[in-house]
Amino acid sequence: MPRNPGTSASRSGSFITACTINFDAIVQITDEHFAQLCRANSDAKFERTAKGELVIVAPTDGEIGSYNSELNADFVIWNRQAKLGVVFDSSTCFRLPTQALRSPDVFWIKQDRWDGLTPDQKAKFPPITPDFVLELMSPSNDFSDVQAKMRD
């Protein structure tokens, strides 16, 4: 797939793995804009990098989706028994200290840290770095994109 200035995408087989768009030249995407974009395009999954780039995340295939579901269930079961924190799935976006809005496949936050957030913070993009993050590498993932996400 050709790369244009301000955008990047990669292909694995016939699947586009991700598309990154930089709107900096024309507009800054605020948290409210980002939330509106997500609501208006509920069939798509978006993230925002620390640089303010919009990432359109490709859906997973059946095998990876099933594996991710199993992993998430394992963490939920463990957390219910341990009662140490809160488990989140890839549908939840968190604001990181870099200002990135990211959604790892599975992540966990210690209960006292989660309880330290206000109800308003919990209801939006919680401004907290997870204590544990699990990001699955599927055949369609670009390794450098996953590395960049983990750096955020």
pLDDT digits (tens, 9 = 90+) for 76-104: 999 999 999 999 998 899 999 999 999 88
Q: pLDDT tens-digit profile of 105-117? A: 899 999 999 999 9
The candidate with the shortest Cα–Cα distance to 108, out of 149, 77, 137, 138, is 77
| Contact of 100 with 50, CB cutoff 8 Å | yes
- Distance from C-alpha of 149 to C-alpha of 55, rounded to nearest angstrom: 10
Q: Which residue has the higher pLDDT, 140 or 142?
A: 142
**Burial of 101 from C-beta contacts in 10 A (0-12 / 13-18 / 19+):** buried
pTM confidence score: 0.75
Q: pLDDT tens-digit profile of 42-60? A: 888 899 988 888 988 877 7
- Distance from C-alpha of 31 to C-alpha of 33, rounded to nearest angstrom: 5
Q: Is residue 9 helix, strand or coil?
A: strand
For the beta sheet containing 45-48, the strands, ordered from the edge strand earlier in sequence to the opposite edge, are: 7-12, 15-21, 54-57, 45-48, 101-102, 94-95
